[in-house]
Structure 1
Amino acid sequence: MNPKQSLTQSEKKIYEAFLMQCKQVKEATAITEVESPTDKLKRINRFKCEENFEEAIKYYFPHYCSAPFGWFHTKAWKDIFLYKKRINIWEWSRESAKSVFADVFIPIYMLITDHLDGMILASENEGKAKILLKDIEAELSTNNRLIADFGDFGLIGSFQQGYFSTKTGIGFWAFGLGQNPAGVREGHKRPNYGVVDDADNKDVAKNQERTQERIDWIRGEFMGCLSTKQRTFVFANNRVARNGLTAHMVGDIEEDDPIDENINHIKVYFTEDPETHEMLKLEDGGVPAWKENFTIVEAKGKIADMKDNADRQLYHKDIPKGKVFKRALTTWVQPLPIHQYDYLIAYNDPSFSGSKKADTKAIVLMGRKGKYIDVLWAWVRKAELMNMIQAYCYLDECIRELQLEIIYGENQPKLKGVNYRAYSEGNFAQKLILKKEFLNYEDSMFIPIFDMRSKPDKTGRIEVLSSPFNFGLLRFNENLRKDKDMLALLHQFFQFPAGHDDGPDAVEGGYYYLQKKKPKGDGKAKKRYGKIKKSKGR
């Protein structure tokens, strides 16, 4: 870095932070023990054996290693160095040391073991990429232990230029997403390690065309720069958006989508089931995934501080804050015994498309008691038509198992003491298809009533539900608060009018027919007593 170089105020602050970082690295890596040349050589050779990666990292980077590795750190380095996994997607929660691991530990260990030919690093923009690159420069220029064991690295260039290299010709480059990395090499050496770190953006994810352009750049221009032989790629990010870069890199943009079989995927939740490493909240018995670093009390405090953002930043769950349906105003209720409801309506919104971006199919069971309408059960999934029919018949079977007397009239069940009807959305052509499929399913006698009313615009119909939803008149089954189908239904409400809306559309259908029913006990209009005099002022 040329001290006389003209810097902006922002660049000066970054450079001052770099100088402070260098000072801290130098102090933290002071060598206090005296070794004989033989012992030193033995130690270095031991560190170079890849199975001793953790021991080497703890020695060279004591300032980063304030806690033992977590299970995912160990898996990550073994996948790269022992099992030679080439495309690694690290979907780790916040504060999991993914940047330090991907941007510092892995490339510097590759360097000192003579496995690094060059590194390219990309982030959301060039400025962020340069800041990430400065961590490597700080280590290679001032880490006493690295320099004592491997000599002066002789850096040429600077992170502020977006590029530097060692005296042996190992280059390090920084790029913002979309910048042209073509031709990147140092002499005959083409980089063989690439990292995309902290590149996802929730706002950009709203524009899927722009998101796809970024994915194409990562998989095309960026990964294309890596050497064909012995290349390693790491994408490190928590899932900040349901359909953002991370979701596209993994492959499971929709919940039921398969993970790309060509990638090595490590997913880490902030708290987990220690046996399966699946997400498990603290209140359900979960423990911190990096239990070597965080106590349960510390984890609880972190979650409390982040409030509604904890799901997205710590658990990879992008639960949108609805503009029409307010998440905070969702009303949960302990449902009544089913025979105590005035009316029951089941409603099905079938989607016939089988494309990758098909709408979800939805079934809801709703009950009315006085002025309240409760969503008692939901099935909201992207599935085949037969799966939907199976689920609807299962719902009917469950209701029949309530040991209430059932009378079938024109294939419609009537529960003793409960006015129950089952509906399905469908035009004339869809009715013919659905009716045939229902009858063919295990000789079922169950056929829903087809809702063939002339309907207004779907968006307008669903918006009608906002008032009862936000004022607590449309309620949801407390017992299904963690059920994936009920959560999928609410997710569609919260993101409305964007994204899938078949669940809310099914609720609108049930709500429409329940509203047509008079609450029991209303009876006829009450008589009015007394005379009414005409106003002479009119």
Structure 2
Amino acid sequence: MAEAITKRDYKEWEAFCEKVQNSNAVKFNEGKKDQDKRIKRCLKSYNDFVKEYFKQYADHDCADFHIRAANAILKDKDILAVLEWAREHAKSVHACIIIPMWLIAHGELTGMILMGKNNDDACNLLSDIQAQLQFNELFAHDFGKQYNFGSWEDGDFTTVDGIRFLAVGRNQSPRGARKGEKRPNYAVIDDIDDDEIIYNPKRVDKVIRNIMGALYFALSIKGARMVVAGNRIHHNSILANMVGDTKKGGKKREGIYHSKVCALKQKTIVRNTDGQIIGGTPSWSRYTLKQILEKMKKAGHVLAMQEFFHQTEVEGKIFKNAYFRWARMPRLQKMNVIVGYFDPSFVNSATSDYKAVRLWGIYNNKKWCIKSFVRRCELEEAFRWMIQVEKNLPNNVAVIWYIEKQFINKTIKRSQRIVERELKYKLNIQTDHRIKPNKYTRMVRMEPDYSNGGVYYNADEKDDPDMIDGNDQLKQIEPGYNTPDDSPDADEGAWYYLDFHYDEESFDPVIGEREIDEDRRY
């Protein structure tokens, strides 16, 4: 369950406001000439702008990626920018506070909508920019008094010039955000992912539709800057979907500005013989290499790679990452037996909305995961995949297909017939008639084979999205889990029938020409 977010304590906010006021005071004896010189310099240099007006954040110079992003957002009135920056690299500070005030200073902001995980989260984020607009005396001195009325506590306030600032949660509609004749032209979506929503593709899709629908179209047609800020905590996260490359090699969303920054500059990273990162140049001078490596060590490899390097490997509590052994697979002709198991899922179940087909074989008393199909899709797509697998097999290799008895219904049969007629090929699928014990128990019983080194995965499929999704589902199996389990359920079924058809004491593999008789063709 995601950690609950509560609204910021007002006294805490007052203390922050006092800090803002004290760190951005106006010099008593400053002349107009010096003021004009500062304004001119700061409007040209984002780094100078930050150091002059936001001293509480400016303990180090901005990084190059901060400056490039700010200038790109200022330059393009219709930018869709995704700032995929490592943890603790000032995503929220720049996207939610400094960049919108950079736009105000240039006369480019007509309104701002800030979207967070929920309304309280968005209001908390909005509180920081209200503090700057209300209590940053130097900014007000140079660019005019800003704050007028309203409050971040209500998620809604307005400046003297009629610029409205509105906070919304990721499931709220921002429609009606216009203030008088001014329609907002800047939206920021900040740290919108959490460890719960990323495992629910339907909820992710719903948020993406809200962002690109209600939120985007609440912005001005004459100019609509939208910024998404966060780090990639999962390959199917909201941020990853906004970029578009949720699958390895996938195309990014057309026309986006994508700034992807890791804690260490990629070309400088040094690894040891085990592949662990041991050196490199920090992407931001605020941190030393020693500090980054120490934090990575304390967090552990999986979380460090997720938070600092956008690599979203899932670590299981029962099925550990170390148990997934990737190797070059032996020729299929050498397999003693190959079983494919289809779990079509119950469409309306909260935890089972995937179609999962897992293909397993046995060789040298080891189980090999050959291929994987794990998708939210129509039934026909799974049957097409199974037929394509069969068509691509060598002539002397065959698959024994199974499907769970409870799924044998008119819908399944009709979908199978449609695809068989379409591809002019008949699938022979046997029914799993078992009366099964508890699902969790069945899946956990696979753990000894994994921990004892009896399971291998086809290295050619390591980066395949279906293989990744299937294995992630297995890693998430633990007491009280509420994540999808269709793939590990299919694994268990395939394993049962692998052992059923293979007796190592007496089994001799039969290798011969695989014939397709007329009964298998239409």
What is the TM-score normalised by the length of structure 2? 0.70
Q: Which runs of 5+ in 1 are unaligned?
A: 1-9, 397-410, 413-421, 438-449, 521-538
Alignment of 1:517 with 2:504, yes or no, is yes
**Alpha-carbon separation, structure 2, partners of 1:480 and 1:221:** 43
Aligned-pair CA distance for 1:137: 1.5
Of stretches 471-480 and 329-338 in structure 1, the one that deviates more from structure 2 is: 329-338
In the alignment, residue 96 of structure 2 is paired with which amino acid?
A: D
User: Which of residues 466, 472, 475 is equivalent to 1:491?
Assistant: 472
User: Which of residues 355, 364, 367 is equivalent to 2:363?
Assistant: 367
Contact conserved, 1:361 with 1:388, CA < 8 A, in 2?
A: no
Q: 1:177 to 1:335 in 2, by over 3 A?
A: closer
What secondary structure sits across from 2:196 in the alignment?
A: helix
Q: Calculate percent identity across the aligned residue pairs.
A: 24
Aligned-pair CA distance for 1:286: 6.3
Q: 1:476 to 1:207 in 2, by over 3 A?
A: closer
Aligned-pair CA distance for 1:253: 4.5
Aligned-pair CA distance for 1:190: 1.3
Contact conserved, 2:82 with 2:243, CA < 8 A, in 1?
A: yes
What aligned pairs does 1:285-304 form with structure 2 within 5 A after superposition?
287=280, 290-304=283-297
Post-superposition Cα deviations, 1:2-56, rounded to whole Å, max 9, x if no partner, equal xxxxxxxx87x7211112112222232245697542243133123223xx22222
What secondary structure sits across from 1:116 in the alignment?
A: coil
Contact conserved, 2:261 with 2:283, CA < 8 A, in 1?
A: no
In the alignment, residue 12 of structure 2 is paired with which amino acid?
A: A
**Alpha-carbon separation, structure 1, partners of 2:87 and 2:206:** 26
Aligned-pair CA distance for 1:108: 0.3
> Who is 2:432 aligned against?
455
What secondary structure sits across from 1:186 in the alignment?
A: coil
Contact conserved, 2:320 with 2:475, CA < 8 A, in 1?
A: no
> Who is 1:107 aligned against?
100
Of stretches 37-46 and 456-465 in structure 1, the one that deviates more from structure 2 is: 456-465
What secondary structure sits across from 2:432 in the alignment?
A: coil
Contact conserved, 1:272 with 1:286, CA < 8 A, in 2?
A: no
Contact conserved, 2:337 with 2:501, CA < 8 A, in 1?
A: no
Aligned length: 455
What aligned pairs does 1:222-371 form with structure 2 within 5 A after superposition?
222-255=215-248, 257-271=250-264, 273-274=266-267, 283-284=276-277, 287=280, 290-307=283-300, 308-320=302-314, 326-328=318-320, 330-331=322-323, 344-345=335-336, 347=338, 349=340, 366-368=362-364
Aligned-pair CA distance for 1:507: 6.5
Contact conserved, 1:163 with 1:171, CA < 8 A, in 2?
A: yes
Q: 1:329 to 1:244 in 2, by over 3 A?
A: closer
> Who is 1:424 aligned against?
399
Aligned-pair CA distance for 1:220: 2.3
Contact conserved, 1:94 with 1:314, CA < 8 A, in 2?
A: yes
Q: CA RMSD in A?
A: 4.7
> Who is 2:495 aligned against?
508
In the alignment, residue 319 of structure 2 is paired with which amino acid?
A: R
Of stretches 205-214 and 141-150 in structure 1, the one that deviates more from structure 2 is: 205-214
Aligned-pair CA distance for 1:222: 2.0
**Alpha-carbon separation, structure 1, partners of 2:253 and 2:327:** 41
Alignment of 1:172 with 2:165, yes or no, is yes
> Who is 1:21 aligned against?
16
Q: 1:517 to 1:464 in 2, by over 3 A?
A: farther
Q: 1:459 to 1:104 in 2, by over 3 A?
A: farther
Q: 1:374 to 1:81 in 2, by over 3 A?
A: same
In the alignment, residue 327 of structure 1 is paired with which amino acid?
A: F
Q: 1:59 to 1:459 in 2, by over 3 A?
A: farther
> Who is 2:176 aligned against?
183
Q: Which runs of 5+ in 2 are unaligned?
A: 1-5, 345-352, 375-380, 403-415, 478-482, 508-522
Contact conserved, 1:360 with 1:381, CA < 8 A, in 2?
A: yes
Contact conserved, 2:80 with 2:226, CA < 8 A, in 1?
A: yes
Contact conserved, 1:492 with 1:504, CA < 8 A, in 2?
A: no
Aligned-pair CA distance for 1:236: 1.9
**Alpha-carbon separation, structure 1, partners of 2:251 and 2:436:** 30
**Alpha-carbon separation, structure 1, partners of 2:277 and 2:212:** 39
**Alpha-carbon separation, structure 2, partners of 1:333 and 1:178:** 40
> Who is 1:470 aligned against?
448
In the alignment, residue 107 of structure 1 is paired with which amino acid?
A: P
**Alpha-carbon separation, structure 2, partners of 1:454 and 1:360:** 16
What secondary structure sits across from 1:95 in the alignment?
A: coil
**Alpha-carbon separation, structure 1, partners of 2:232 and 2:197:** 13
Post-superposition Cα deviations, 1:407-455, rounded to whole Å, max 9, x if no partner, equal xxxx54xxxxxxxxx5424589999999999xxxxxxxxxxxx986553
Q: 1:358 to 1:164 in 2, by over 3 A?
A: closer
Q: 1:228 to 1:434 in 2, by over 3 A?
A: closer
Post-superposition Cα deviations, 1:156-200, rounded to whole Å, max 9, x if no partner, equal 222223222222222212222343433323331111111122322
Q: Of the two, which has the highest radius of gyration?
A: 1
In the alignment, residue 163 of structure 1 is paired with which amino acid?
A: D
**Alpha-carbon separation, structure 1, partners of 2:502 and 2:441:** 16
Post-superposition Cα deviations, 1:253-306, rounded to whole Å, max 9, x if no partner, equal 455654322433333344552379xxxx98146646634233332223323333
Post-superposition Cα deviations, 1:208-241, rounded to whole Å, max 9, x if no partner, equal 4444333333222222221111221112233344
What aligned pairs does 1:7-18 form with structure 2 within 5 A after superposition?
14-18=9-13
Contact conserved, 1:91 with 1:267, CA < 8 A, in 2?
A: yes
Contact conserved, 1:380 with 1:488, CA < 8 A, in 2?
A: no
Aligned-pair CA distance for 1:201: 3.1
What is the TM-score normalised by the length of structure 1? 0.68
**Alpha-carbon separation, structure 2, partners of 1:153 and 1:77:** 21
Q: 1:328 to 1:358 in 2, by over 3 A?
A: closer
**Alpha-carbon separation, structure 2, partners of 1:392 and 1:146:** 67
What aligned pairs does 1:154-169 form with structure 2 within 5 A after superposition?
154-169=147-162
Q: 1:185 to 1:504 in 2, by over 3 A?
A: same
Alignment of 1:45 with 2:40, yes or no, is yes
Contact conserved, 2:122 with 2:169, CA < 8 A, in 1?
A: yes
